[in-house]
With several copies, the nearest count.
Chain A
Amino acid sequence: MSDMDEMDDGSGIVKKFMFLNRKAPHGTVYALEGLEVVLITAAFDQDVSMVFTDDGVYQLMKGIDSKGIEVKDFSKTYRALEGYDIEKLYVDQKSMDARGLTEEDLIVDVTVLSVDEMANLMAEQDVVISF
């Protein structure tokens, strides 16, 4: 994540970007490589929302210790998002309930949305990228 400084495509356009995270961490690389895209998008001063639904809510679990599988623990990056002005983090209530999770279990503060609220948020985006 070397090029996270301020970037500009010259157009001055600000679009609403939603990043939809539906996959668990570690089993596949999408969560990790998805974070890299989110950070770059914020560096372009775009209006960024991160949404966690389905198994994506597992990305935010507290207490992750990945030493035993010999891969990087990137879960602390979620706590650093605020420093890059990425403050709109949403999780899906239904996905949390289905996994027995509450906000207390998560490593960052999030806004919990119902399915309908989530659907409306998605519908008003300019660009939705799913990982």
Chain B
Amino acid sequence: MQFGILINEGPYTHQASDSAFLFARTAIEKGHTVPRVFFYHDGVNNSNRLATPPQDDRNVSARWSKLAAEHGVDLVVCVAAAQRRGITDDVLAPGFRISGLGQLVEMGIQYDRLVTFGD
């Protein structure tokens, strides 16, 4: 089955970002596909490669990049939300790209399920 995932909150502050990652990874492990994850609202902050959390803590953008590289997940950051919050191509971690809200609507139209994580 194809799952689309929408993430509305940034890393560390809200667990939403962690829950979404563990859900996506588990879905893939179980043989489903996650063709795209869409980052909206403060969710765009998950894509920031400049983050350097403590060594004993998870690195949110890096683990998304790894999942994308290994399983072909398309990580799409909303352009309008990103502009408001200072996320540009210059700070984007590998595997993320900036695009329009149409990419979110397409997920709803084309995939079997759309699951939202937020606050």
Contacts and interface: CB of A to CB of B under 8 A. Distances in A.
A129 B58 contact: no
B108 A15 contact: yes
Interface string B17-59: 0110010000000000000000011000000000000001110
Given A3-B102, A44-B102, A130 B116 contact: yes
B40 A33 contact: yes
Size bracket of the B interface: 20 to 34
A9 B110 contact: yes
Contact of A33 (B6, B22, B81): B81
Most chain B beta carbons < 10 A, residue from A17, A72, A127: A127
A67 to B, nearest CB: 12
B104 interface: yes
Contacts, number: 77
A35 B57 CA distance: 16
A41 B102 CA distance: 7
Interface stretch (A21-29, A53-61, A85-93, A115-123): A21-29
Interface string B50-84: 00000011100000000000000000000011000
9 contacts: A7-B102, A9-B109, A17-B105, A17-B108, A28-B14, A29-B14, A37-B40, A43-B102, A127-B108
Interface of A: 3, 7, 9, 11, 13, 15, 17, 26-30, 33, 36-37, 40-41, 43-44, 46, 69-72, 126-127, 129-130
Which 9 A-B pairs rank lowest in CB-CB distance, beginning with the nearest? A127-B108, A40-B101, A9-B106, A41-B105, A29-B13, A44-B105, A29-B12, A27-B15, A127-B114
